[in-house]
Structure 1
Amino acid sequence: MPEIFVNYRTGDGQDLATIIDRDLRDRFGGEHVFMDHRSIPAGVKFENMLTSGVWGSKVLLCVIGPTWLTAADAEGHRKIDDPKDWIHHELHLAFENGVHVIPVIDERAETPLRVEELPKRIAKLASCQYRTYRHRESDSVLDRIAHDILDIVPGLVDRRESAARPANLSGVETRVQGNGIGGIWSSGPIVAGPGNQYHGDVFGGSKFNGPANTGPGTFNNADHITTNDHRTVSPVDNANLETPRASHDSGEEEIR
């Protein structure tokens, strides 16, 4: 079952709930977010799906709009007071089953919630740390809600944050182990792809040791290398000797 359950009242918070649902699906994938009209297949008994959705979730977002507390039925009674009201019922199930509840309150609604205004079965809602959704700050609020969820469900991955990290677009990476030109280079695996692998005494330093580069590149296995500034090298075809340099396009590391 999806780890995130979106709880809202039709006619009060459905617009905000839709905004939150779309944002979370874009970040985590639709399979991780439950919202009734989208998640319940046609012809399925919705009561069972809603109950299972709450039980199977790790976090429930309770979307509270301007009329969430005051919405009334045909007889003029507050809907939230009725145990059969689905908002009331889902919140009660969440608290009974240890689901983490986060109220998300529209800026137009009264905040904070007060215990005395809530039915006893869900009065705990007033003690839950809430997030206020401000339309002018929508991006930052949605980011914060996503981070809250990641803290509760650490196995989730925010696709937006992953995509924003710097990437080695070319797949080129050069790693060496040993002493370089007067310094110590980091050790690690060689990424398959174009690049140079050195094994031998280079520029007065120790040998570079590491697994072979499985892609195209110059492979030098020698005791010494001669350069144009008269540093001594052993028999190596100078035509194949390349001076490593930085390449912003290829993503190669510069060896200094």
Structure 2
Amino acid sequence: MAKIFINYRTGDEKWGPELVDGQLVDVFGEGNVFRDRRAMRPGTDFPDRIRQEVESCVVFLSLIGPGWLDIRDADSGLRRIDMPKDYVHDEIATALALNKVVIPVLLDASLPAARQLPPALVGLSNRQFQPLREGYTHHDMRVLINEIREYVPAKKPEPQHGTETASAVASHAHVVRSAVGINPVYNENAAPRDWDGNGRRPA
């Protein structure tokens, strides 16, 4: 189960969910970030998997765009957030009830007031939010990622097999030179020890 759950409203701000998902995956790893359209394979029991992911997550992100609150059902005319079995409503209600770290992420939008929300979601209006502005995602995503890192560790960098780091190569070369008594020669990439105290290249 993933440690970060991305909750969003289909038909709301379109650029947000995929952008947030992609950048979080880069930092925390694909297995630690859940967004339904990417993480669920065909044939998955949707309601059961959603419930499991919300219950097991550490950080729950509620992505809220300008149309999030007022998107309505085409048949009934009701706000989708008010309708029975609305996934966005139920996911948030469950996360709040379980005292998850719930972060409203505002996609060029405002945080809804308590009076605008269904009773089970009123607690969302009390949560400190993080703005994510379309023209400033480079800054706002960095802030959001740093906040999440307080609760979820970043993935470990993958080892690069078959290559040595520059410091390892330099260290190895220094050992070889010392062992065979060869004076270092000038190299633009040489370590600082190949220069004398006055900043001159060795002879």
Q: Smaller-chain TM-score range?
A: 0.7 to 0.9
The residue that corresponds to 2:181 in the other structure is 240
SS at match of 1:218: helix
| Structure 1 position 78 matched with structure 2 position 79 | yes
TM-score, normalised to structure 1, is 0.66
The residue that corresponds to 2:50 in the other structure is 50
| Structure 1 position 98 matched with structure 2 position 96 | no
Residue identity matched to 1:195? H
The residue that corresponds to 1:227 in the other structure is none
The residue that corresponds to 1:120 in the other structure is 119
The residue that corresponds to 1:138 in the other structure is 137
Change (3 A) 1:121 1:246: farther
Once residues 143 and 32 of structure 2 are traced to their aligned partners in structure 1, the CA distance between those partners, rounded to angstroms, is: 18
State which drifts further: 140-149 or 9-18: 9-18
Once residues 64 and 193 of structure 2 are traced to their aligned partners in structure 1, the CA distance between those partners, rounded to angstroms, is: 52
The residue that corresponds to 1:23 in the other structure is 23
State which drifts further: 77-86 or 125-134: 77-86
Once residues 13 and 60 of structure 1 are traced to their aligned partners in structure 2, the CA distance between those partners, rounded to angstroms, is: 18
CA deviation digits over 1:53-88, x for unaligned, max 9? 111211111111111111122212112123521001
Tell me which of the two structures has the higher relative contact order, counting C-alpha pairs closer than 8 angstroms and 6 or more residues apart.
2
Change (3 A) 1:100 1:172: same
- Does the CA-based 8 Å contact 1:5-1:34 persist in structure 2? yes
Change (3 A) 1:241 1:12: closer
| Structure 1 position 249 matched with structure 2 position 189 | yes
State which drifts further: 44-53 or 77-86: 77-86
Once residues 251 and 51 of structure 1 are traced to their aligned partners in structure 2, the CA distance between those partners, rounded to angstroms, is: 55
- Does the CA-based 8 Å contact 2:27-2:154 persist in structure 1? no
| 1:172 positional shift | 4.2
| 1:28 positional shift | 2.3
The residue that corresponds to 1:179 in the other structure is none
Change (3 A) 1:144 1:240: same
**Aligned residue runs from structure 1 range 141-156, under 5 A:** 141-153=140-152, 155-156=153-154
TM-score, normalised to structure 2, is 0.81
Residue identity matched to 1:217? R
- Does the CA-based 8 Å contact 1:2-1:34 persist in structure 2? yes
Unaligned segments of structure 2, at least 5 residues: 158-163, 198-203
Residue identity matched to 1:48? D
Once residues 173 and 188 of structure 2 are traced to their aligned partners in structure 1, the CA distance between those partners, rounded to angstroms, is: 15
The residue that corresponds to 1:217 in the other structure is 177
**Count, aligned residues:** 189
Change (3 A) 1:247 1:122: farther
SS at match of 2:168: coil
| 1:250 positional shift | 4.0
The residue that corresponds to 2:200 in the other structure is none
Once residues 118 and 158 of structure 1 are traced to their aligned partners in structure 2, the CA distance between those partners, rounded to angstroms, is: 40
RMSD: 2.5
The residue that corresponds to 2:161 in the other structure is none
Residue identity matched to 1:218? S
| 1:194 positional shift | 2.5
Residue identity matched to 2:71? A
When Rg is computed on C-alpha atoms for both structures, the one with the higher figure is 1
